[in-house]
Structure 1
Amino acid sequence: MSAITTIKTYTPKSFEFTPKKDEVLKASLFNYYDYPLNETIKSAFVDFCTVQKIILRETHYSDDLIVFRLEGVNSEEKYQNILNFPALQFIEPMPYLKIGIDSSAKETEVELKTPEPNIDYPIVGVLDSGIADIPFLSSWIIGHESAYPEDRLDKSHGTFVGGIITYGDELEKIEISGVKGCKLFDAAVLPDPNKESVAEDELIENIREIIRSNPNIKIWNLSLGYESLEVDDCKFSQFAMALDDIQKENDVIICKSAGNCGNFSSNKPVGRITVPSDSVLSLVIGSVSLDGSPSVFSRTGSGPAHINKPDIVSYGGNFIKSGKRFVKDGVKSFSVDNNIYDACGTSFSTPRISALLAGLSHEIEEEFDPLLLKALTIHSARYPEDVRLTQIDRVKLMGYGIPDNMSNILYNSDHEITLIQSDRLVKGKYMEILEFPYPESLIDDKGYFYGDITVTLVATPVLFSGNGVEYCQSDIDVKFGTFDEIEEKEVTKSHRNEYGPDSLANILLPDKYRSRSVNNSDHDNPFVRERTLLNYGKKYQPVKKWRVNLNELTPANKEKYLKSPKRWGLRLTGVYRDFAETRAGLERTSLYQDFCLMITIKDPNNHHMVYNEVSQLLENRNFIHSDIQLRETIQERIRV
C-alpha cells in the first residue's frame, strides 16, 4: 500500500427488509480480538435485543466469529435499530438448506456382499439425510445417529451416497477407488425438506456434535451445500469457516461436494462453486464423466482469494446432448427400496474420494495424518489425455485432476521414488536440504539432467475468520532446483545456517519452460496430461502442486540449470501476513505451519532403477528416513 486516499464510516452490510412471520435472521458482530471487549459487546447486544423483544441465541461457527440467530424481528423499526448497533458487521436472512435426488431405475445387477468377520474395514461417516437399512447396506452400517426423529427423514440421498462408498466400483464394474469394502456410520444431519427445513446454524451444530461424539471416525462425507449460493470473491463464507474449525478441533477430513449447476440446459456457462465449498481445509470434489471430461453440471472454481477449489474430481455422471435435449448418463447406486437407480451430481463423485481416503488411512499403520492423506490423494491425481484445456481452465474445472486408485497410490515402480517430508515450520526458521538425492543416472548422453518431477505441498495455514479475503494468513514458499556450490554464509537472525547454496535456481517456476508447455497448447505432447505448471506468486494457497518434465525447459535454461555437474537443493520458507504477526506479538504466541511435502522423481524412459539408487543416496548422505508402515507388504514410498 502506497497511500490511503479516503476513510469512510463503516456501514453494516444489510438487505432489503420486509417483515415476515417467523423469519430467522443472522447477525454477525465484529471481533475486536480483545476478550473483555468482545464479552462486553455481546452482553450489550443481548440486553439490546431483550429490550426490543427479539429472541436471540449465540451460535458457534468458529472461535473467531461472533454470530447470533435472531427471531421476532417483525417490524421495520426493530430492523433499523439492529442496523444502528455500533458493533454490527452484517445482518442477513438465515440461509436454509435442502437436498434432493433426481434418479431413475437402472437395469443393473450387483452381487450382495457382506463384511468378512475377521477383516477390519475402513469407515466413512456419512453426513447426509440418513441411510436406509436395506439388504445391500445393512451389514455395512456400524451405527446410526440422527438429529431428527425417524419419521422426519427422507433417506433417499444418504442411501445413494452410502451405496457408492461401499459398492462404487462394483456398481460401475470398473476400479475407481480400489477400496474393497468400506463400513458406514450413518449421521443424519438433514430432515426431509417436505416436512421440515434446516437453518445453516442448525446444520453446523448437527455436524459439529456428531463428529465430536465419534472421535474414532476420521473421514467424513458431506455431499451437501447450497443449490445456488455461490462463493464470494472478496470473502470466505462463515459456513466454510465453521467446517474448517470443526476439522481443526476434531482432527478429521471432510470430503465436500463442489456443487451442481443446471445452466447447461439453457446454454449458459457453468456457475461458480457454492457455499461452503470455499472451506480451506475440506477436500472439495468436482465431477467428471467416465471418459474423464468435466461434467456439464460440475461447478467451477476458483474460490475466494483465488484459492484453488475444487481440489480434485471423480466420476459423478454427466448429461449428454442429443439433438435439443440432454440425456442423463448417471452413476449407479441404491434406492431406499433396495433397487438400483442412476443419478448425476458432485454429491456422487464425492463419496468415491471419501472411500479412497478412508482406505488409505486404513492401510497406513501410523497415526492419523490428514495432511499426508490429502497429499497422497492430490499427488496421484492426473488429467485425462483427451481434455484439451489451458492450465488455468483445467485447475478451475478439475482441480488437480482425477486421483489414482488406492493400490497405485501406495505403490512405487522401480523407475521412480517418492520422498515425503511431514514437519512443522516455525516462523523465523526455514527448511533447507543442500544435498538433495537426485539420481545421477538421470543424466543424458549430452550431460543434462532429465526426469519427470512431481511436487505436492499440503499445509495447515494460520486462519483468522475476521479478515475477509485474507482469511489465510500464512503461506509456504517452495524452491526446488539446482545450484553449483555450497558456500559459507553470514549467520544472521533470519539465516542461522553458516552454509548455503551459492544460488538456488527454482525449476518449479513457469518462466523456466517453453511457452507451449506453460499454455498447454502442445496437445500432441504425451506429457500434457501430466503437466501442472502454475505460478502461485503471492497467492496464499494451502495446497500447491507442480508436475514438470525437465526436457521442456527452454534451451537457454536447460544449459544454465541442468548441465552437469550440478547439485540439487530444496528450501521451504514460511510467509505470514502482517495481521498474524501482530496478533502473535500481542498474544506472545509462536506462529507455525504443519505441512506435508511429497516429491516424486521418475525416469520417463523406464530404464534406470531410480528407487534403489535414491535409497542408497539417502544412506550415503546420512538422511534419517523410514518407510511408511502399511498393513500389507508392498513396495512402500520413503519418508525422509
Structure 2
Amino acid sequence: MKVRLVKDDINSNYKVSLDDISKEKDFIKILEDYNIKYKKTEYFKDFFMYKLLNINSKFIMILQERASNYIKYIEPVSIYSLPIQIDDINGEVPIIYPEENKNYITLGVLDNGIAHIKYLDPWIKKVHTRFLKKDTSTTHGTFVSGIALYGDKLENREMVKNEGFYLLDATVLSSTTIEEDELLQNIALAIKENYKKVKIWNLSLSVKIGIEEDTFSDFGVLLDHLQKTYGVLIFKSAGNGGNFMKRKPKGKLYHGSDSLLAIIVGAINNERYASNYSRVGLGPKGTIKPDLASYGGDLLLGDSGEMIMKGVKSFSRDGNLASSSGTSFATARVSSLATIIYQHICKDFKDFSDFNPILLKALIIHSAKNTDRNLSMEEVGYGIPATSAKILSYFKNENIKIFNGVMEKYQEIELNGSFFEYKKDIKVKITLVYDTEFDYLQSGEYIKSDIKIKDFSENGRNLTRKFEAKLARNKKIVLYSDSDIKKNFTLIVEKID
C-alpha cells in the first residue's frame, strides 16, 4: 500500500485505488463507520477510483490498519488548472479557408475551449462541452489550435507542412480548477461520444504528479483503454516543469504521459536543445517515453531570478497574434502532422473504416531524427519527426517497404532480392509499432504480449522498436511473441546508405 500525503498534512481530497475489488464492500463500510464522504468514479468495468473528501493522515492511518492488504495506493487528488502566460504580439498572417467540395478530416482538441476568432472559426466543425460559455476561458485551446493549423506560417519555417483540417472543440476544462476524476471523466466522455467521426485527438493537458518507475498511472491506463476501445490515436504533452528556476534537474513526465498507445511529445527550443521546462522519461518499466519532440519554445532563468519566455507564436482568444511556451504546443505540431498524413491516405471520409493508428504512429516515429545536439532518449524519445510531405513520400519510395498485419506468436517478413539490389547484405533502418492487450489492473505484466525481432531487437517490453542493422539477403525478418494474443503491427524497412 503506497501512501502520499499533502504538504503540511492539511485536510484534503484523496484518491484511493483497490488492489482487490472483491473487498469493495468492506472498504465502503470503513468509510461509513467514520462518516467519511466519498465519490466513486468508474472509468470502465472494474477500473474505478474512490475520492475521499476532506481527510488527513489520521484517517489514512486507520485505513493502513484496517485495509492495507487490499488498498493499492492513497494519494492526494491532483487539481488541474492552466497557469499559462500568453502574451499578445504584433503581426498577422493570412486567413486560410476550407475549399469547396474538398474532404477534410477532424482533429479533436481536448482542452479549455477554442475561441471563434477569424483564423479558426471557418474550421471549427463542432463543439462538445459540458460547461456554460461564460465558464469557459478558451485561452489554451485557442493557442493549441492556432499552432495545429498555422504553425509553419506563424514561425515562417517548414516543420509540419501545414494544411487545413476541421477542428472539434472538446472542452473538458472550464476557466476554473478541476479535480483529476472529473477531468478524466470529461476526456472519456468526449472521445466516447465522438470517436466515430474523430480519430485523432490532441490532449495538451496533464495531471501534475510524476510518473512511477514500475506502475502505470490511472490517467495513462485510461488513455490506453480509450484508444483500444474506440480505435483512436491520442497525442499527449509530456508536461512542463519549473525546476530550472531553482537550478534543479528536470522532473519526470506527468501522469498520463505513461500511456503506451498515445504518442507523448516533449519540446525543443530554437537552438535544438530540449527545452528547460520539458519533463523527461523514461516511462514505467523502462518503456520509451516521450516518443517524440517538436518545437515548443523556451523558458529561461534571468540574472535577477525572473523567468524569461522565448515563446512560439499562435493566437490569443481575442484573435491577436500571441506568444507562449510549452510542451502543449510541441504536441499540437505533431497531432497536426498526423492529421495531415491521414487526410492524404484516407479513402473513407464517411465512416473512417480505414483508420490505422499503428500505421500512423509507425510512419511518424520512423521519420524522427535526433537533433545535432545528440539529445537523450529520456528528453526527446526517437527525436523530431519529418514533415508531412516527407512522410507521405514513403509510399512511393522504392527503398522503403511497409508491412501491416496481425500476428500471434510468429511472423516471417521476406524481402525480395531486388530490394537488396542482389547484394550480399544491406544496411537498413527498421521501425516496428504494434498494439496488444493490457492488464489494466496491473496484477501481472501491464503489456500482456510483446513482439520481438529475432537477432535484432529482443530486449525489454515496449510497443515501439527502432534500430539500424545490416540485413543479409537470404535472411528473413522474424517477429516472435511470448503469447498467442493477436496483435496488429506495422513494420517499416528502409534501405539506407
Task: Give 3-state SS (helix, strand or coil) of 1:284's partner.
Answer: strand
What is aligned with 1:567?
474
Amino acid at match of 2:487: Q
2:185 is paired with a residue of what secondary structure? helix
The 5 A counterparts of 1:477-516 are: 477-479=452-454, 506=455, 508=456
What does residue 380 of structure 1 align with? 367
Secondary structure class of the residue paired with 2:108: strand
Q: Partner residue of 2:2?
A: 13
Aligned to 1:198: 178
User: What residue number does 1:118 align with?
Assistant: 101
Shift of 1:439: 2.8
In structure 2, do the counterparts of structure 1 residues 64 and 404 end up closer, same or farther at CA, with 3 Å as the change threshold?
farther
Distance in 2 separating the partners of 1:128 and 1:433: 42
3-state SS, counterpart of residue 441 of structure 2: helix
Report deviation, 1:289: 2.1
- Asked if residue 312 in structure 1 is aligned to residue 298 in structure 2, the reply is no
Native 8 Å contact 2:426 2:495 kept in 1: no
- 2: distance between equivalents of 1:354 and 1:415? 24
For residue 331 of structure 1, the aligned residue among 292, 312, 321 is 312
Mark the CA change 1:595 to 1:52 in structure 2 (over 3 Å): closer, same or farther: same
Equivalent residues in 2 for 1:158-307, closer than 5 Å = 158-193=141-176, 197-215=177-195, 216-227=197-208, 229-307=209-287
> What is the deviation of 1:161?
0.6
SS of the residue aligned with 1:60? strand
Of 5, 30, 34, 2:19 maps to: 30
Alpha-carbon separation, structure 2, partners of 1:464 and 1:275? 18
Aligned counterparts, 1:48-59, within 5 A: 48-59=30-41
Cα separation, 2, equivalents of 1:335 and 1:350 = 18
Distance 2:268 2:180 in 1: 29
In the other structure, the counterpart of 2:351 is none
Identical counterparts, % of pairs: 33
Q: Identify if the C-alpha distance between structure 1 residues 212 and 172 changes in structure 2 by more than 3 Å, giving closer, same or farther.
A: same
Aligned residue in 1 for 2:425:
449
C-alpha distance after superposition, 1:356-390 (max 9, x if no partner) = 11111221135111101101111111123x2134x
CA distance, structure 1, for counterparts of residue 183 and residue 302 of structure 2: 39
2:399 is paired with a residue whose SS is strand
Asked whether the equivalents of residues 160 and 337 of structure 2 are also in contact (C-alpha less than 8 Å), the reply is yes
8 Å CA contact 1:473–1:540 kept in 2: the answer is no
Cα deviation for residue 179 of structure 1 reads 2.9
1:45-93 superposed Cα distances (whole Å, 9 cap, x missing partner): 3344334333333312444534222236479358615751353222222
Larger radius of gyration: 1
- Aligned residue in 1 for 2:403: 421
The offset of 1:183, in angstroms, is 1.6
The offset of 1:258, in angstroms, is: 0.6
1:624 corresponds in structure 2 to none
The answer to which of 163-172 and 407-416 deviates more is 407-416
Query: Is the CA contact (8 Å cut-off) linking 2:399 and 2:419 kept in structure 1?
Result: no
Of stretches 89-98 and 396-405 in structure 1, the one that deviates more from structure 2 is 89-98
Indicate how the Cα distance of structure 1 residues 185 and 328 shifts in structure 2: closer, same or farther if over 3 A, else same. Answer: same
- Out of 352, 372, 378, the position equivalent to 2:333 is 352
Deviation at 1:301, TM superposition (A): 1.4
Q: Contact conserved, 2:244 with 2:301, CA < 8 A, in 1?
A: no
Distance in 2 between residues matched to 1:287 and 1:455, nearest whole Å: 25
Q: Taking structure 1 as the reference length, what is the TM-score of the superposition?
A: 0.71
> Does the 8 Å CA contact 1:122/1:181 hold for their aligned counterparts?
no
Q: Which amino acid aligns with 2:191?
A: I
CA spacing shift, 1:43–1:437, aligned 2, 3 Å:
farther
Q: Return 412-421 or 231-240, whichever deviates more.
A: 412-421
Residues 361 and 373, structure 1, Cα contact 8 Å, conserved in 2: yes
* Cα pair 1:244 1:282 within 8 Å, conserved: yes
Rate the CA distance shift 1:234–1:438 in 2: closer, same or farther, 3 A.
Answer: farther
Instruction: Assess if the C-alpha contact under 8 Å between 2:97 and 2:122 holds in 1.
Output: yes
Q: Secondary structure at the match of 1:466?
A: coil
Aligned AA (2:384): I
Shift of the 316–411 alpha-carbon distance from structure 1 to 2, 3 Å rule, reads: same
Shift of 1:134: 1.4
Amino acid at match of 2:58: E
8 Å CA contact 1:381, 1:402 repeated in 2 = yes
Runs of 5+ unmatched residues, structure 2: 348-353
CA distance in 2, matches of 1:422, 1:459: 10
Shift of 1:420: 1.8
Contact 2:245 2:301 in 1 (8 A): no
The alpha-carbon deviation at position 457 of structure 1 amounts to 0.8
Letter in 2 for 1:473: K
Q: Aligned letter for 1:143?
A: K
TM (normalized to structure 2)?
Answer: 0.90
Q: Matched residues in 1 for 2:308 and 2:9: separation? A: 43
Query: 1:134 and 2:79 equivalent?
Result: no
Query: Are the counterparts in 2 of residues 146 and 189 from structure 1 also a CA contact under 8 Å?
Result: yes
Q: Is 218-227 or 76-85 further displaced after alignment?
A: 76-85
For 2:42 and 2:320, the matched residues in 1 are separated by: 40
* 1:474 alignment counterpart: 449
Indicate the RMSD between aligned Cα atoms, in angstroms: 2.6
Q: Is the 8 A contact 1:172 1:332 kept in 2?
A: yes
2:91 is matched with which residue? Answer: 108
Q: Which residue of 2 aligns with 1:598?
A: 492
Matching residue's letter, 2:319 = N
Equivalent runs, 1:361-400 vs 2, <5 Å: 361-366=342-347, 367-384=354-371, 386-389=372-375, 393=376, 395-400=377-382
Partner of 1:403: 385
**Counterpart code for 1:595:** F
Residue 449 of structure 2 contacts residue 485 of structure 2 at CA under 8 Å; is this kept in 1? no
Q: 1:264 to 1:70 in 2, by over 3 A?
A: closer
Letter in 1 for 2:468: R
Tell me if structure 1 keeps the 8 A contact 2:201–2:335.
yes
Task: Give 1:369's aligned amino acid.
Answer: N
CA 1:81 to 1:109, structure 2 compared with 1: closer, same or farther past 3 Å?
Answer: closer
Counterparts of 1:296 and 1:442, CA distance in 2: 48
